[in-house]
Amino acid sequence: MAVSFDERVDVVDLILKVLKDHEKSLDTLVSQLGETLNQPQAAGTIQVQGYNKYKVVLRRWFEFRDRCLKSDLIAFDMVGDKFHVSSVKNGSFYTYSETIPEVTIKMEKDGDKVLIEGGEFMSHEDPSYVFNGKLQCGLGVNTRRTKVDMPNGDTVHKIIYDVDPEEARVWLSDELKTEKKSIVYGGIEL
């Protein structure tokens, strides 16, 4: 069965009409997508372009600092006895954490001897930073002291350190040369 010339033209016209309708639908979808991307993000959400999905865990502050200068986004938090800092820079995700120390000093009854109990120190590190009111990374901490007199006459002193979020934000901004608006108190979820 031969198809006439008019029938062929009708089929081509039908195909062109369907393609034009499809093009209009695609244009509408592209416009809606553009509007959605230009809308402000939901509260607490920051979008970072070009994230590579790998995480670099650094154990030394100077290495973290050197890699994270002028970061796109920095988040910090205190969870339990840890101070955590995360950064996104040029599509890479970096983290650093250190223990916020707590020191217990037991003064024996005769007062001549002092025994330091507790505190988490790396064996190769100098623990004196604890007594300077700073973490190993250099961030200043607030101290709270308690004293307990024991029934046997000994005295136990506890030094508890705390990080103020606003002071941490200012310090991180200076230390990492990053605007304060790019530093958030919280975390970055992958």
Q: Is residue 178 part of a domain?
A: yes
What is the number of domains present in the chain? 3
pLDDT at 186: 92
In terms of domains, do 169 and 95 share one? yes
Higher pLDDT, 154 or 89: 89
Strand ranges for the chain from DSSP E: 55-58, 73-79, 82-89, 92-99, 102-107, 114-117, 142-149, 155-162, 183-185
* Burial (Cβ within 10 Å: 0-12, 13-18, ≥19) of residue 157: middle
In terms of domains, do 151 and 173 share one? no
- For 37, the token pair is 């991307």
- For 30, the token pair is 């592209």
CA pair distance 16, 148, nearest whole angstrom: 88
Give the pLDDT confidence of 123-132 residue by residue, as tens digits.
345 566 667 7
What range does the domain containing 17 cover?
A: 1-39
CA pair distance 173, 79, nearest whole angstrom: 21
In terms of domains, do 16 and 94 share one? no
Q: What is the pTM of this model?
A: 0.63
Mean pLDDT of the chain: 78
In this structure, are residues 102 and 119 in contact, taking their beta carbons and an 8 Å threshold? yes
